[in-house]
Amino acid sequence: MTYTILVCDDDELIVNSIALHLQKEGYRVVKAFNGIEALEAVEKEKIHLVLLDIMMPKLDGLSTTLRIRQEKNIPIIILSAKSEDTDKIAGLNFGADDYITKPFNTLELLARVKSQLRRYTTLGSMVVEPQILSTGGLWLDAETGKVTLDGEMVKLTPTEYKILYYLMKNMGQVLSMHQIYENVWQEVAYAPENTVAVHIRRLREKIEINPKDPKYLKVVWGSGYMVEKI
């Protein structure tokens, strides 16, 4: 299968350079130079992953990410010259799955792309097993990949789904941030706290009536997180 990657940056040289490296790896590339063009490409094309700059004309990368997330769960990797932790956390909060700081190493970029695609496509193999995980009104159907809360569909990103699946598969067990990161991101966890905490917060906002007083996704201070069996 040939994966199609959308590369969006207002710098044409950067887009062409990234496209060249991706094409050498066998990917099909769709180019865009602002957020509006990116949204049009996602609507018209079968896109499997998005590489997206933050600072762009017409529609910036964060706003574009929000718009894509309303309809699509495809992986989104933010590309930005901003390297502060607050900027990275903002990108993740807006729905991105990963964040790469410019200037970046091409080999690292390709590795991040492969990693995100691997996780995204793993969902396809994961849902082959006919299995329903549930606690109270929260249901995860691993056969269809659907999550419902009190009968209502919950739209999760691939990363949020993987976190919830891992926690529900180990229901009642406290899992550390390192365990969650290494299972979901499939990488060695050196400093996973911010990344995991941001995704957990976004997940709580979707599955909890009151995220500040969670019913399902509990924090065990100093130890990690767990999904409680109700």
Q: Is residue 76 exposed (0-12), middle (13-18) or buried (19+ Cβ within 10 Å)? A: buried
Q: List the Cα angle 177/183/186 in 5-degree steps.
A: 115
Query: What is the CATH superfamily name and number for domain 4-125?
Result: Response regulator (3.40.50.2300)
* pLDDT value of position 221: 86
Report pLDDT digits (tens) over 28-85. Answer: 999 999 999 999 999 888 899 999 998 888 898 889 998 898 878 889 999 887 766 6
- 182 or 205, greater pLDDT: 205
Check if the beta carbon of residue 44 is closer than 8 Å to that of residue 72: no
Report pLDDT digits (tens) over 106-156. Answer: 999 999 999 888 887 765 433 334 368 999 999 998 877 889 999 899 999
Report pLDDT digits (tens) over 9-34. Answer: 999 999 999 999 999 999 999 999 99
Report pLDDT digits (tens) over 161-178. Answer: 999 999 999 999 999 988
* pLDDT value of position 128: 39
Please report, for the chain, the start and end positions of each structural domain, with discontinuous segments joined by +.
4-125, 127-227
The CA dihedral of 198, 199, 200, 201, to the nearest 10 degrees, is 50
221's tokens: 């201070």
- Which pTM does this prediction carry? 0.58
- The topology under which CATH files domain 127-227 is Arc Repressor Mutant, subunit A (1.10.10)
